[in-house]
Amino acid sequence: MPVPVADPPAERPAAAGAVAVVGAGPAGLMAAESLVGQGHRVALFDAMPSVGRKFLMAGRGGLNLTHSEPFERFVARYGDAASHLAPMLEAFPPDALRQWAAELGIETFVGSSGRVFPTGLKASPLLRAWLARLGRAGVRLETRRRWEGFAPDGTLRFIDSDGRLQLVSAAAVVLALGGASWARLGSDGAWAPLLAALDIPLAPFRAANCGFVVSWPAEFADRHAGTPLKNIALSLGTARVRGEAVIAGYGIEGGAVYALGAAPHRALAAEGEARLLLDLKPDLAVGDLAARLDRPRRGASLASFLRKAANLAPVAAALVRAIRPDATNGTPGELAEALKALPLRAIGTAPIDRAISTAGGVRWDALDADLQARSHPGLFLAGEMLDWEAPTGGYLLQACFATGRWAGHAAARYLAQPGLNGL
């Protein structure tokens, strides 16, 4: 809602001289904790009625906090941003995150895949304990406050739930406003034009950890949308991942799809399509699967035959009919080859608001090593606002925690400079 700068503020919250942290997701909460732990007064602002909404959504199926793989491999998951994020991840690695959770009374365990979860699997106990500790430490939380940039004198502009303008003075500011997906949870990327107006360089947003558009035959999509594909493998070029996926009306989504990382996006950008191969029986070689299929059908439907011969779900037959109809009446070897390498032609990504995370945002060359805007001393940025991406598996949350902590410590060092007058 546009409000003229000249309008008198309805209220000026008592945050003058404090550090303002804007955005109360994992990165913002960690920045606030780092600052208050070093003796600073912290005012924490969020546009939503309650905090950590995307964090809570991420925990609905089991909160994957981080991953236990070797650190070098862990850092490499961040691709082009790995060199930028490495110091922050070294300062707050996965083991430190687990210890931090334990200090909140939340024990964690390593799953069979190497992913790390709270023992209770849910996000809400951790968030409640964290907010309680921040409250006891003196962090002041202001919800229903949407950030609308800076006034000419450097004060922060907020719009409250009644549409009134509020001006807040701060000695330093940490922005942790999230990416551009899941707008209904508060992560809508609306901050991008505000930073662009400050001449802070941005990379365009794009969906990451998202589904891909596949041109299914209409009848197949109508009948099988929502059907899970369990224990499958997906490959693109030299990348191959195991896991599960889900058939969507528009294409395919799910953990195995997201685990391919940036490879499908790069293929789409370079060639206009990404040629995925779907292996419905990754535990069997083609020859072994062909041997199981080398038996008489005796009038059984393809779905019934595949279920009995190879323990495949009925959707396997539907996929073969939709993608490789020539193989349905072929030899056992031809059918086995089709089941092991069904070609999926991805021609686009799901809408950005359906993505788990987004790439793009504040470019690394806009920031110094402290995550401080080069053109605006005292302004720090953290979390998904920065231009990085990573697959699901704990990498997203770990980097949000680590960059929030890094920005908080950097803001504290900034405030310790002699003769500092703030923003």
Domain-wise residue ranges, the chain: 19-206+360-415, 212-349
Give residues with Cβ within 8 angstroms of 114, minimum separation 6.
67, 68, 69
* Residue percentage of the chain with pLDDT more than 70: 94
**86-142 pLDDT, tens digit each:** 999 999 999 999 999 999 999 999 998 899 999 988 888 999 999 999 999 999 999
Looking at 59-68, 164-173, 214-223, 245-254, which range is the least confident one?
Answer: 59-68
Averaged pLDDT, 297-303: 83
Q: How confident is the model at residue 59 (pLDDT cuts 50, 70, 90)?
A: low
Examine the pLDDT at 334 and tell me if it is beyond 60: yes
In the chain, % of residues over pLDDT 90 = 52
- Say if residue 43's pLDDT is above 60: yes
**Token pair for 114:** 């190497």
Top-level class of domain 19-206+360-415: alpha beta
d(CA 262, CA 279): 20
More confident residue, 5 or 36: 36
User: Which tens digits make up the pLDDT trace of 395-414?
Assistant: 999 999 999 999 999 999 99
Which pLDDT band, with edges at 50, 70 and 90, does 84 fall under? very high
Burial of 237 (C-beta count, 10 Å sphere; 0-12/13-18/19+): middle
pLDDT on residue 258? 86
Q: What is the pLDDT of residues 171-217, one digit of tens each?
A: 999 999 998 887 777 678 889 999 999 999 999 998 888 889 998 88
**Beta strand 379-381 with 172-175: parallel, antiparallel or unpaired?**
parallel
- State the pLDDT confidence band at 390, using cuts at 50, 70 and 90: confident
Supply the pTM of this predicted model. Answer: 0.82
Q: What Rg value do the Cα atoms of the chain yield, rounded?
A: 25
The pLDDT tens digits for 358-380 are 889 999 999 999 999 999 999 99
Q: Is the pLDDT of residue 356 over 90?
A: no
Per-residue pLDDT, averaged over 33-62, amounts to 86
The crossing angle, in degrees rounded to 10, of helices 286-293 and 302-310 is 120
Give the mean pLDDT of 327-350: 89
